[in-house]
Amino acid sequence: MNSMTGYGRGETVRRGTKVTVEMSTVNRRQAELSLHMPRELDAIEWRVRDAILAKIARGRVVARVILAASNGVVATPVLDHDLAKKYAREYRRLAAETGADVAFTLDTLLRAPGVMKAAEGEPDAETRWPLIQKALKRALVALVAMRGREGKHLQRDLKKRVALMRRITKSIRKQAPKTARRHREQLNKRLSEALGAKLDEERLLREVVLFADRADITEELTRLESHYAQFDVCAKKGGAMGRTLDFLAQEMNREVNTIGSKANDAVISRQVVRLKSELEKFREQVQNVE
């Protein structure tokens, strides 16, 4: 089990160039990536994205790739002013010919092919990729390790919650058969007091059977225990399980609510309150699981 929060940093230096990759992750229902890197590396942005998303199944990732000379000076790309002006003229001419608004910005110009180039003698993005890949791998290893350590704490806590919910569910199952018997006794007593005589046994039995059918929670308890077993399977299998656990928590909540509404018993009602309390804590922790 992995947490969705973590931090990782990787660094490599070769032939006067230093690459630093920093990544941090926080909770999100899906995998989201916000990537910041020098424009001269745009050609390999897809490689960086693919490498990160291959390791992160859930959570919001903020990643930064910093390129600098090994002496600490940031490598400065070369801006081709003439080419940028040509692009601007062509954009305006196209707008005039088509009647469209001139919607391009400075950012549009800077991202146009060839406008931003590596400094003279500097290697291009593809040539730099092996160096960046190494720093990226180190950052990912550190990030995944941190998420894994946090995930172990989450797993221990979730197991405790499920163990307690199992005990409460077992107690409810033990109490459930007593409900029909108590209802029969109370019904017999009330009607006897009202009618001044003992109620017909066959009619009383029909009333009790109808009540027992309406108040039967066997099916709900069985499904609830099945959900606990599914949690055990997920915890043992490992990997990305946050969405599955979120679904299980919703299904558990559905069964607990049904039990609470059907079981006309004060003891069971108190146990249902305890179940809901633990389940809410379980659901909150699941929001942190990848």
What the block records as the tokens of 227 is 């959900």
Q: In the structure, what pLDDT confidence band is assigned to residue 79 with cuts at 50, 70 and 90?
A: confident
Please give the C-alpha separations between residue 125 and each of 45, 76, 94, 128, 168, in angstroms, as whole numbers. 9, 14, 31, 5, 60
Q: What is the pLDDT of residue 216?
A: 73
Q: What architecture does CATH give domain 6-78+112-149?
A: 2-Layer Sandwich (3.30)
Q: What is the mean pLDDT of the chain?
A: 84
Q: In the structure, what pLDDT confidence band is assigned to residue 192 with cuts at 50, 70 and 90?
A: low
Asked if residue 133 lies in contact with residue 47, where contact means CB atoms within 8 angstroms, the answer is yes
Q: To which residue do tokens 């790309």 refer?
A: 77
User: How is 237-280 classified by DSSP, letter by letter?
Assistant: H-SS-HHHHHHHHHHHHHHHHHHHHH---HHHHHHHHHHHHHHH
Other Cβ atoms closer than 10 A to 112: 18
Summarised one tens digit per residue, pLDDT across range 198-210 is: 555 565 556 555 5
Q: In the structure, what pLDDT confidence band is assigned to residue 121 with cuts at 50, 70 and 90?
A: low
Please enumerate in sequence order all residues whose Cβ is within 8 A of that of 61, keeping only pairs 6 or more positions apart, or say none. 23, 24, 25, 31, 32, 33, 34, 52
Q: In the structure, what pLDDT confidence band is assigned to residue 228 with cuts at 50, 70 and 90?
A: very high
- Provide the b/e sequence for 220-241 (b: ≥16 CB within 10 Å): bbeebbebeebbeebeeeeebb
Please enumerate in sequence order all residues whose Cβ is within 8 A of that of 11, keeping only pairs 6 or more positions apart, or say none. 18, 19, 20, 21, 135, 138
Average pLDDT (20-31) is 92
Specify the length of the chain in residues. 290
Q: What is the pLDDT of residue 160?
A: 95
Q: Is 124 left (phi over 0), alpha (psi -120 to 50) or beta?
A: beta
Q: Domain segments of the chain: what residues?
A: 6-78+112-149, 79-111, 152-286
* pTM of structure: 0.69
Is the pLDDT at 285 greater than 70, yes or no?
yes
Asked if residue 106 lies in contact with residue 88, where contact means CB atoms within 8 angstroms, the answer is no
Coil vs helix vs strand at 289: strand
Asked if residue 184 lies in contact with residue 208, where contact means CB atoms within 8 angstroms, the answer is yes
